[in-house]
Amino acid sequence: MTGCPLPTPNANWALFLDIDGTLLDIADTPTAVVMPPELPDLLDALLKLFGNAVALVSGRSLDDIDRLFAPRKLPAAGQHGAEIRLPGGTVECAPSGADLSALFPALEAFAADRAGLLIEEKGRTIAVHYRNAPQYKTDIEDFLGRLTGDQSGTVETIGGHRVFEIKPRAFNKGTAVARLMQAPPFVGRCPVFIGDDRTDEDGFAFVQAHGGLAVRVGMAGASIADLRLGGPGETRAWLAHVRDVLTEKAK
């Protein structure tokens, strides 16, 4: 593991896990990510050990999360908290105060002249991926500033790993974790959030304010996180360690 030693696993934790760059290695496109063969069984074991208090918190939509983790449907927050599936399967949509659909045609037109850009319309948020065209980062930032300037009070753009996420300000990963923590079996547990980029910092802030632990994956970039892991492989290795420790304690 990288950085300070991680704490001894506690069965009273509630785990909140980002996906891309945290559980899964980032790929050139969102559809190209590879599910490590050991991860589904590891998540099943963690669900059992934590009494189902394990949730995925992602920029992906719930439909996309379910495609990746099929046939499992874990408690999850999609689109940075725009949609939340509570334990038991009920899905709630967070009020947004902003409609981004009018931005999509302009974004597609912008990308049409710049090979390698990918515009991903997720329903209530939009991602501009430039992993295959990093030379356009400054152009994208300038364009998004102009495009969303009139809505700056209700819309924000957050940078991630070679992606810009456009989303309403009304919700984020922090509000998502807050809502999940109100539902059994999360209620009363110590929240642990693991994420890898700026979009996860709101989740970190929430868990820290409620006595929990924030873990940043990757060594680049400033963060308020308490601890760091080197990459998704280290995340999976640490979660396997958590499983093994708690399994031994349960004997």
* 124: CATH: 3.30.70.1020
pLDDT recorded at residue 220: 84
Domain coverage including residue 107: 101-168
Same domain? 140 vs 179: no
Quick check: is 234 in a domain? yes
Residue 65, domain CATH: 3.40.50.1000
Residue 167 bridge partners (DSSP): 156
Is the pTM above the cut of 0.85? Answer: yes
- Does position 54 have pLDDT exceeding 70, yes or no? yes
Pairing of strands 213-217, 227-229: parallel
Given 151, 168, 185, which residue is the final one in a domain?
A: 168
Last residue of a domain, which of 168, 189, 210?
Answer: 168
41 plus 105 within the same structural domain:
no
Give residue 48's identity as a one-letter amino acid code: K
d(CA 77, CA 70): 16
Q: Are residue 177 and residue 246 in the same domain, yes or no?
A: yes
Provide the domain count of the chain.
Answer: 2
Question: How many CA atoms lie within 13 Å of 96's alpha carbon, on the beta-carbon side?
Answer: 20
Residue 100: CB partners within 8 Å, gap ≥ 6? Answer: 124, 125, 126, 155, 166, 167, 168
- Residue numbers annotated as active site: 18
d(CA 195, CA 57): 9
pLDDT digits (tens, 9 = 90+) for 176-189: 999 999 999 999 99
* Segment 229-245 mean pLDDT: 97
* Alpha carbons 201 and 215: distance in angstroms, whole number: 10
Q: Coil, strand, or helix at residue 144?
A: helix
